[in-house]
Structure 1
């Protein structure tokens, strides 16, 4: 099972996004490690049915994993509430049971939100997303086509970042091993990418208006996409998992 041929990857994008939204609400209101661990475990267990290996899923979610590690490190150093039993005290580093509980809960919450989202969006075709938004969510065509364009442009950012970095090196602008210079180069490159994204978005909006996407007229659908029983079951499964998270949290 690979890509969009996997059984769960073929579900309607609105069903997948709806299930993730419901689940995310439950996760964001929970601090129970068992409930959050359940979501993480289910995500890893179901990832092959989305056509993604568990290790690949973790690799794609590396920003969330890095953020979770940063949360734990930051709370270990700067947490205001250090009540509870002392687990480790080395110089300024004081880790208590309360600090550890808060840090682990926040880190698990971040990962539990990220993994299902990565599963859904990495297995959703942009064109299918636009079709599903218009047919199932009854979204305006302007919004749906805009989401399609934005989805497709996201993949260009990494290529454009690489091109900007190569152009800077060709002009002799290289930070080398200096961490401060690297930080300045990163900020400058990010600002350049932001300006480029704004210009690209403006041109895209103008092109969409020129093609009549702002006319307000009814638009036909080239690819009818039924919302099948399997899609309803997927949405129900996400709701059940969210309910399980809530029950475990408030047990």
Structure 2
């Protein structure tokens, strides 16, 4: 099962080498991890928002794929505001919870960083075919073929595991064991199918490993059906990643909010 579904519109980003997209995302992430300030994260997020518009995802696909991130970011920021390091003027005190200027800025920085680091990864992964990614890892980065093909096989099984989980739930409901029971029943409904899925996964993995060994995967130098190359568009993508990282850092230093995490 491809991570890039046919419903996603073909785009220039989707046709790029996955290694260049991965490299751009890593560069931006590393730059944002060097400091915890809201200015650099906001600048990076704004620049990413302009570029993500060209990735080929419709508005509905974008919000569905990133919905978890939009929920997690505010919660991460709120937790930091309530329990983060206090500094500056005290804005609110309730019991052992103290909200200060410093904790609010830190919470805002954390929330923006979660979005700025997570959004490119999710969107770029949605426009990447697992086979193309494996070709790039093996041919461009020269990673061991056994490791790459094992990871590719695992990604291909993700869709099957999702279908197995759905069918297990339908089968239990058809037998009358899928509803009721309150909180304890809900736990049983989760752990029962989870254990069954674990057993299915182990059996399927063993069969897949045996089949791959029988076909000579990892026992001899590999040849590849499709050549993975880095072109001009990939250089532009890497340049954009470096540019976003550099602009975010420069603006944060100019605004006086940049604080190197190791200093």
Question: Is 1:172 aligned to residue 201 of structure 2?
Answer: no
Aligned residue for 1:227? 230
Aligned residue for 1:57? 62
> Does the residue aligned with 2:157 lie in a helix, a strand or coil?
helix
C-alpha contact 1:34 1:248 (8 A) present in aligned 2? yes
Q: 1:227-246 maps to which residues of 2 (within 5 A)? A: 227-246=230-249
**In the TM superposition, what whole-angstrom CA distance separates every residue of 1:55-87 from its partner, at most 9, and x where no partner exists?**
53233112222222332343344x153343333
Report the Cα offset of residue 131 of structure 1.
Answer: 1.7
2-side partners of 1:223 and 1:124: how far apart? 15
**In the TM superposition, what whole-angstrom CA distance separates every residue of 1:151-192 from its partner, at most 9, and x where no partner exists?**
222233332222222233233333549455435533554444
Question: Is 1:8 aligned to residue 8 of structure 2?
Answer: no
Question: Is 1:158 aligned to residue 162 of structure 2?
Answer: yes
C-alpha contact 2:9 2:57 (8 A) present in aligned 1? no
C-alpha contact 1:16 1:234 (8 A) present in aligned 2? yes
C-alpha contact 1:4 1:124 (8 A) present in aligned 2? no
> Does the residue aligned with 2:99 lie in a helix, a strand or coil?
strand
Q: TM-score, normalised by structure 2?
A: 0.81
Q: TM-score, normalised by structure 1?
A: 0.84
Q: Is 176-185 or 161-170 further displaced after alignment?
A: 176-185
> Does the residue aligned with 1:3 lie in a helix, a strand or coil?
coil
Aligned residue for 1:74? 79
Aligned residue for 1:84? 88
Aligned residue for 2:132? 128
Higher RCO (C-alpha under 8 Å, 6+ residues apart): 2
> Does the residue aligned with 1:50 lie in a helix, a strand or coil?
coil
- Give 5+ residue unaligned stretches, structure 2: 1-6, 255-263
Question: Is 1:213 aligned to residue 225 of structure 2?
Answer: no
- Give 5+ residue unaligned stretches, structure 1: none
Q: Is 12-21 or 171-180 further displaced after alignment?
A: 171-180
Return the structure number with greater helix share: 1
Structure 1 stretches of 4+ with a deviation exceeding 6 A read none
